[in-house]
Structure 1
Amino acid sequence: MTHQIVMNPIDGCTAAAHIAYYFSDTAIIYPITPSSPMAEYIDAWAAAKRLNAFDQVVSVEEMNHEQGAAGAMHGAIAAGALASTYTASQGLLLMIPNLYKMAGEHLPAVLHVAARTIATHSLSIHGDHSDIMAVRQTGVAIVVSPDVQEAMDFAIAAHIAAIKAEHPVIHAFDGFRTSHTIKKVEMINYETIKPFVPFEEIKAFRLKGLNPEHPKAMGSCQGPPVWLQAAEADNSHYNKIEGHFIEAFKDVEKITGRKYEIFEYYGAQDATDIVVLMGSGCITVQETIDYLNAQGQKTGAVLVRLFRPFSINYFISKIPQSVKRICVLDRCKENTATAEPLRQDVVCALIESGRLSKIEKIIGGRYGQSSKDFIPADVVAIFENLKQDKSMDHFVCSINDDVTFKSLARKDELTLVPEGTVQCMFFGQGSDGTVGANKNAIKIIADNTQLFAQGYFDYDSFKAGGLTTSHLRFGPKKIGAEYYVYDSDFTACSQQSYWNKYHTMLVSSCRKGSILLLNTSCKTVEDFNKCMPKNMRAMIAAKNLKLMVMDASDISDKAGLPGRINSAMQTAFFMLSGVLPQDKAIEIWKKTIVKTFKKKGESVVNKNLAQVDATLAAGAVFEVKYPATWGDAPEGEEVKLYTDRTVVGPRNAFLNQEEE
């Protein structure tokens, strides 16, 4: 279908919520990280009187817990209203009783889930598939999208398939890695979707709803004489769900021009070694397969889109006949089980299809739990392990397991971002405004250039005071790279206190010859010799970094916003990065500040604008020319450039540092 293409920088939650609003009569909400933005957007759009597919404003009801949200959704949809909800982790677990009921009663509810770690030995707000796997037995359909664009596209398929199949659907995407990553994607106009809304099926669904005008029984009690017969008779209903998703993906292709299948194969058609996985890890695997196959290897991947129901025939059809070895990757750990869930499905599919006898080996491993970074070096290690005569099974990626010795060692790191991509990192402190300013920056770049853009923001569960890192990329080609920035062209650090605790990760994240911007009161080499750790100075010199300095804290204090240094630091970024002409960048940045802070009053707006002007003043941002002697190792030590990523993420960087 021809339509005007509009590209906007949005995150995965916005993408899914944009579609969910259009297909819903009512949204039942209760916030839980990282799904909360979806509920917030739905509520805001309803307040703004946005219309859905039925030219009505969506009715939004906030409950007092997730179990209440599930019950209210169950009741609403039983009465003939198209209902949706948004949840994750323990919130999804509280919905399990209603999921069983809605599946058994053939009710087309849609749950958009920002998949998150289930609390076990500790709580984690970060992402993996443990919550999705914990509800796979409920009978609901589960479709998993790998990035922001697919979160929007798959949401369309989820709602259409739910209505046509008369069955509840969970549309899942990785918490934080997809839900909170900002990417420049194609926005799908509601008018473009409207011809594909199944209005006839919706009318039939509404007529079946519970209504005192034509009462009927639902959820009655059955005993041994009939219960089993009814359960088995339902097989025909479940057998049709796969077909409805295939057709729904065809509708998405007609709307967007993008083709999707319930399983997709990527890689060499004569591959001997393949992996099977789902979610955002697919993007990293695809990039690495391109790299390996360019070197003459024969690798591939089966990408799982529709996890439940698991279509054996469709899955098997995607495995090339040349495949000898298979590795199944799960983003969860299922203690006490013989294997993780996706691997169990794959093995069963191979057995039932008769393909298992043609496969030399099938192994499994775990990756990305609690948002542990999954990088191309991990994928290389997985394929190398798969080719060994004695491959490690039940392995784990991205850590050094020195207890049970089940980890795969990473080899050389790979930079697989497209040529011309600029990468930036910002080390900030929770509540100093760094994350918010960088979200604005990536949107400014995306909206005002032809560049593709990506922004990922890593922070802990503290409300304020914790370490935050912002990972920004922009370039002329589409950006995958679903992992941290490790070779930054521009790095900024807003806190001088981080020099001691995080300096190894901070400097090692910088590409050689790149810019390092520090917020500090230090102005001279002598000041830095007193305040900066010797090893940090040596690393800066070893990487030949361009050391830029500003006192953003002093600027924010004088502007009347102590601690809120984001406007000053972001101004310096636009001055130094060159991504936009400086005059244009500053003009747009000032407009963004007005838009962002106007609800807090004119005084706050003016104080932030004062920070911009103070940063632009001569001498506010300057280069420190350090001596060659900085490159000399501290007495009795070597200059160590941190390359071991087994403890990934700046929050944990201090665990890998040598004591000063």
Structure 2
Amino acid sequence: MGEYWSVEVANGHVNTSQRPLIFIEPESEHAAAAVTAGMSMTGLRAINFSSAQGVAFMHESLYAAVGKRLPYVLNIGCRAITKSSLNVHCGHDDYHCIDDTGFIQIMAKSGQAVADLNLIAHKIAELSLTPAAIAQDGFLTTHLIESLNIPERELIAEFLGKPEDMIDTPTPAQRMIYGEKRRRVPLVWDVDNPMVAGTVQNQDAYMQSVASQRPYFFEHIPDIADQCLEEYYQLTGRRYQRLSGYLVEDADYIILGQGSMIVQAELVADYLRQTRNLKIGVVNMVFFRFDRAATGMKLKRLRDALQKI
């Protein structure tokens, strides 16, 4: 992904904001996380690419990206993290090693979902002021040749807008900071309107600032996500949900998963229903933290089981 980005930079590609792309290849993933944060703090729509040990290496920097409310997107090509031996193939070790950072975590099952959910992740991040990780299975999705509808430039421009757009401030907590209007990607580093970010705090203030992220920011993410998912569906006809089901309404058995295995699981469900008369359903955990999305499932046993996860 990063290589193709660098190719487009060399080709002089101009994005939908009429800006030339910027590509920076630092000396490590830790530095890459810092550069991505810096670009976001200067009001740019920023993106990072990594996998496996690279995600683990940048891990400590991701907490600060959340705490500073930096709305960038981290793309992960999920690979196993080396343990007893070297393995460069698919595993979700890297995706789940950031579970405690506060990033929005989204998993795509196919190339089409990767393209679409990247755009959706940007919009959710920029409205909620919380960075997002959009993951796909290493090799099983990253290197798979498949057909897809590439989002058109006009679609991207309409759906995402420009980083410098002034938008209605979406939540009460954000209005306390920015007022009724704010920049789509806020300027944290601005010489004309300087502000303090990343201060040193002692225990009492630090505890309050960390705990307050939940009511002031995290609890708004589900509604913002649903809004963005619905808006994308209205524009494209491609439906995504935080927790999606396939043949679950009458299912006696459920396959629960995430990533590329969902594509095969849906085919297996079809096959077993046709050949063995087994009522199999599939649930795709598109968002790792699906919380209230489970209540949308009509199957009571499934809903109760999911709420225990």
TM-score (norm 2): 0.88
Q: Which runs of 5+ in 2 are unaligned?
A: 168-181
Cα deviation, residue 128, structure 1: 1.2
In the alignment, what sits opposite 2:179?
none
1:209 aligned counterpart, secondary structure:
coil
Matched, 1:171 2:150: no
Q: 2:308 aligns with which of 350, 370, 379?
A: 350
In the alignment, what sits opposite 1:276?
256
Q: What residue identity is the alignment partner of 2:283?
A: V
Provide the rounded CA distance (Å) in 2 between the counterparts of 1:238 and 1:325. Answer: 23
Cα deviation, residue 201, structure 1: 5.4
1:411-430 CA-partner distances (Å, limit 9, x unpaired): xxxxxxxxxxxxxxxxxxxx
Aligned CA distance change for structure 1 residues 177 and 195 (closer, same or farther; 3 Å): same
Matched, 1:248 2:221: no
Provide the rounded CA distance (Å) in 1 between the counterparts of 2:160 and 2:193. Answer: 27
Cα deviation, residue 225, structure 1: 2.6
Q: 1:218 aligns with which of 172, 192, 197?
A: 197
Q: 1:96 aligns with which of 59, 65, 72?
A: 59
Provide the rounded CA distance (Å) in 1 between the counterparts of 2:37 and 2:46. Answer: 8
Q: What residue identity is the alignment partner of 1:104?
A: G
In the alignment, what sits opposite 1:57?
20
Provide the rounded CA distance (Å) in 1 between the counterparts of 2:304 and 2:186. Answer: 51
Provide the rounded CA distance (Å) in 2 between the counterparts of 1:288 and 1:183. Answer: 20
Aligned CA distance change for structure 1 residues 87 and 323 (closer, same or farther; 3 Å): closer
Do the aligned residues in 2 keep the contact of 1:151 with 1:173 (CA within 8 Å)? Answer: yes
Provide the rounded CA distance (Å) in 2 between the counterparts of 1:201 and 1:98. Answer: 28
2:204 aligned counterpart, secondary structure:
coil
In the alignment, what sits opposite 1:108?
71
Aligned CA distance change for structure 1 residues 107 and 293 (closer, same or farther; 3 Å): same
Aligned CA distance change for structure 1 residues 117 and 322 (closer, same or farther; 3 Å): closer
Q: What residue identity is the alignment partner of 1:285?
A: A
2:77 aligned counterpart, secondary structure:
strand
In the alignment, what sits opposite 2:290?
311
Q: What residue identity is the alignment partner of 2:257?
A: L
Q: 2:278 aligns with which of 292, 297, 313?
A: 297
Provide the rounded CA distance (Å) in 2 between the counterparts of 1:185 and 1:133. Answer: 27
Alignment of 1:430-509 (within 5 A): none
1:165-199 CA-partner distances (Å, limit 9, x unpaired): 11111000000000000111112211122111244
Do the aligned residues in 2 keep the contact of 1:302 with 1:318 (CA within 8 Å)? Answer: no
Cα deviation, residue 350, structure 1: 2.5
1:225-267 CA-partner distances (Å, limit 9, x unpaired): 3222222222120011122221222232133211111101111
In the alignment, what sits opposite 1:658?
none
Matched, 1:136 2:136: no
Do the aligned residues in 1 keep the contact of 2:104 with 2:132 (CA within 8 Å)? Answer: yes
In the alignment, what sits opposite 1:146?
109
Alignment of 1:178-577 (within 5 A): 178-199=141-162, 200=165, 204-236=183-215, 237-294=217-274, 295-307=276-288, 310-318=289-297, 320-321=299-300, 346=306, 349-350=307-308
Q: Which runs of 5+ in 1 are unaligned?
A: 1-37, 327-345, 352-660
Do the aligned residues in 1 keep the contact of 2:249 with 2:298 (CA within 8 Å)? Answer: no
Do the aligned residues in 2 keep the contact of 1:316 with 1:350 (CA within 8 Å)? Answer: no
Q: What residue identity is the alignment partner of 1:71?
A: A
1:240-298 CA-partner distances (Å, limit 9, x unpaired): 11222212222321332111111011114121221211000011111111112223222
Cα deviation, residue 319, structure 1: 5.8
Give the fraction of aligned pairs with identical amino acids, expressed as a percent. Answer: 24
Q: What residue identity is the alignment partner of 2:308?
A: L
Cα deviation, residue 325, structure 1: 11
Do the aligned residues in 1 keep the contact of 2:73 with 2:132 (CA within 8 Å)? Answer: yes
Q: What residue identity is the alignment partner of 2:83?
A: T
1:138-182 CA-partner distances (Å, limit 9, x unpaired): 111110000111111111111111111111110000000000001
Cα deviation, residue 321, structure 1: 2.4
Runs of 4+ in 1 over 3 A off after TM superposition: 198-203, 205-208, 322-326
Aligned CA distance change for structure 1 residues 140 and 269 (closer, same or farther; 3 Å): same
Q: How many residues align?
A: 291
Q: What residue identity is the alignment partner of 2:115?
A: M
Q: What residue identity is the alignment partner of 1:249?
A: L
1:371-414 CA-partner distances (Å, limit 9, x unpaired): xxxxxxxxxxxxxxxxxxxxxxxxxxxxxxxxxxxxxxxxxxxx
Aligned CA distance change for structure 1 residues 193 and 175 (closer, same or farther; 3 Å): same
Provide the rounded CA distance (Å) in 2 between the counterparts of 1:215 and 1:42. Answer: 32
2:183 aligned counterpart, secondary structure:
helix
In the alignment, what sits opposite 2:9?
46
Provide the rounded CA distance (Å) in 1 between the counterparts of 2:206 and 2:6. Answer: 41
TM-score (norm 1): 0.42
Cα deviation, residue 316, structure 1: 3.8
Provide the rounded CA distance (Å) in 1 between the counterparts of 2:7 and 2:38. Answer: 24
Provide the rounded CA distance (Å) in 2 between the counterparts of 1:290 and 1:252. Answer: 28
Bigger radius of gyration among the two? 1
Cα deviation, residue 324, structure 1: 11
Provide the rounded CA distance (Å) in 1 between the counterparts of 2:304 and 2:234. Answer: 36
Provide the rounded CA distance (Å) in 2 between the counterparts of 1:41 and 1:126. Answer: 20
Aligned CA distance change for structure 1 residues 88 and 323 (closer, same or farther; 3 Å): closer
Aligned CA distance change for structure 1 residues 65 and 255 (closer, same or farther; 3 Å): same
Q: 1:83 aligns with which of 38, 43, 46?
A: 46
Q: What residue identity is the alignment partner of 2:75?
A: H
Aligned CA distance change for structure 1 residues 323 and 223 (closer, same or farther; 3 Å): closer
Provide the rounded CA distance (Å) in 2 between the counterparts of 1:241 and 1:321. Answer: 25
Q: What residue identity is the alignment partner of 2:212?
A: A
Provide the rounded CA distance (Å) in 2 between the counterparts of 1:239 and 1:118. Answer: 31
Higher relative contact order (CA 8 A, sep 6+): 2
Do the aligned residues in 2 keep the contact of 1:117 with 1:128 (CA within 8 Å)? Answer: yes
Provide the rounded CA distance (Å) in 2 between the counterparts of 1:246 and 1:134. Answer: 25
Give the number of the structure whose residues are more often strand, by fraction: 1
1:213 aligned counterpart, secondary structure:
coil
Cα deviation, residue 125, structure 1: 1.1
